[in-house]
């Protein structure tokens, strides 16, 4: 089944939400984190707070937070599940997103990871690439060519990922701009926690209706797949599905937008590498991995 046709305009409400997010998260103006990260690593591998969000100490509000900045420190955290449990996310993420896979340790994590992987089956991903993503990108590029100039972040990297996610979830096209705004506000909890809670509640109310409909009338979308997924007799609860959806939509609204924009910036400022990728498309997976690492 072909994906829905979507438009690429970013409404002012989304731009306003993005500006609030940037200002509140310390990402307005020259926001390169690398000088700060280099300075922190030189002093110690672990520091209190979240320096990348402009928080350099624990204020006493909520559980204390620490961030690892060196390769060895990060590796130690990721490979020691007993000492550094992801259960901490119950206090950090659950109030905003509900129960998600982020807070699960092994072996429970592996079971629920398999359940989530149903939503990203390779045949479906290949079909969605051909029927949804490529046509959307081509329409966007055609529009840019007619204008001759473009703000790539605002006209390409902000609108495309969230519209793809919205289509994969089976959301009506008319609802996607509102969900883009809510996704940004949900992620901007450090800037305005009350606003993020309201966004989370609005998303939850909407997803209740979507899930009820998909259980009655399954469609060719991720919500339908997740509602029927089962591994060793384990199925996702409604709240876990809502948590997945709250987690996925902001990923399209923010994380993917920024990572793809960073990749483009890297290629456009390293023209020899851009030329290499354009000449040999087999290098593109490497470029994507390097963009994510960067």
267 and 274 in contact (C-beta within 8 Å)?
yes
| Predicted pLDDT of residue 29 | 62
Tell whether the model's pLDDT for residue 193 goes beyond 90. Answer: no
C-alpha 8/C-alpha 136 separation (Å) is 8
Residue 171 has pLDDT above 50, yes or no: yes
Mean pLDDT taken over the chain: 84
DSSP 98-128: -S-GGGPPTTHHHHHHHHHHGGG-HHHHHHH
Domains and CATH numbers, the chain: 12-31+120-293 (1.10.630.10)
Q: What is the mean pLDDT of residues 173-199?
A: 86
What is the C-alpha separation between 161 and 141, in angstroms, rounded? 15
- Mean pLDDT calculated for residue range 31-51: 84
pLDDT value at position 27?
64
pLDDT at 60: 64
pLDDT higher than threshold 50 for residue 49: yes
**Least trusted range by pLDDT, from 2-6, 157-161, 200-204, 264-268:** 2-6
Using pLDDT thresholds of 50, 70 and 90, give the confidence band for residue 273: very high
Query: In the numeric block, which tokens belong to residue 279?
Result: 């000449």
Residues 3, 131 contacting (CB under 8 angstroms): yes
Q: Scan for tokens 């690429």, then name that residue.
A: 8
pLDDT band at 31 (very low <50, low <70, confident <90, very high): low
pLDDT at 48: 87
Token pair 């591998």 in the structure block, residue: 45
pLDDT tens, residue by residue, 15-28 = 888 788 777 766 66
- Mean pLDDT in residue range 93-111: 84
Distance separating alpha carbons of residues 265 and 263, to the nearest angstrom = 5
| Residue pair 14/185 in contact by the 8 Å Cβ criterion | no
Predicted confidence (pLDDT) at residue 160 exceeds the cutoff of 60: yes
pLDDT tens for 221-262 read: 888 888 888 888 888 888 988 988 888 877 766 788 888 999
């Amino acid at each position: 089944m072909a994906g829905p046709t979507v438009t690429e305009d970013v409404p002012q409400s989304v731009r306003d939400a993005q500006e609030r997010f940037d200002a509140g998260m310390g990402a307005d103006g020259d926001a390169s984190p690398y000088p700060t990260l280099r300075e922190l690593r030189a002093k110690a591998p672990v520091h209190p707070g979240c320096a990348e969000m402009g928080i350099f100490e624990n204020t006493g509000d909520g559980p204390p937070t620490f961030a690892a900045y060196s390769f060895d420190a990060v590796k130690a955290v990721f490979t020691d599940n007993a000492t550094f449990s992801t259960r901490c996310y119950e206090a950090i993420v659950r109030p905003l997103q509900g129960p998600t896979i982020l807070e699960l340790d092994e072996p429970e994590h592996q079971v629920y990871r398999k359940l989530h992987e149903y939503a990203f089956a390779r045949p479906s991903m290949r079909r969605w690439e051909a029927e949804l993503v490529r046509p959307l990108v081509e329409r966007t590029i055609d529009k840019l060519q007619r204008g001759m100039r473009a703000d790539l972040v605002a006209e390409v990297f902000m609108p495309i990922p969230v519209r793809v996610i919205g289509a994969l979830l089976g959301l009506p096209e008319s609802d996607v701009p509102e969900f883009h705004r809510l996704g940004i506000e949900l992620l901007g909890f450090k800037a305005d926690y009350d606003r993020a809670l309201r966004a989370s509640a609005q998303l939850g109310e909407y997803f209740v209706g979507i899930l009820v409909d998909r259980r009655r009338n399954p469609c060719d979308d991720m919500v339908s797949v997740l509602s029927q997924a089962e591994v060793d007799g384990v199925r996702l609860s409604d709240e876990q599905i809502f948590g997945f959806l709250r987690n996925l939509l902001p990923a399209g609204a923010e994380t993917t937008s920024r990572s793809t924009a960073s990749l483009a910036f890297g290629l456009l400022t390293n023209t020899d590498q851009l030329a290499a990728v354009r000449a040999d498309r087999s290098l593109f997976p490497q470029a994507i991995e390097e963009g994510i690492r960067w």
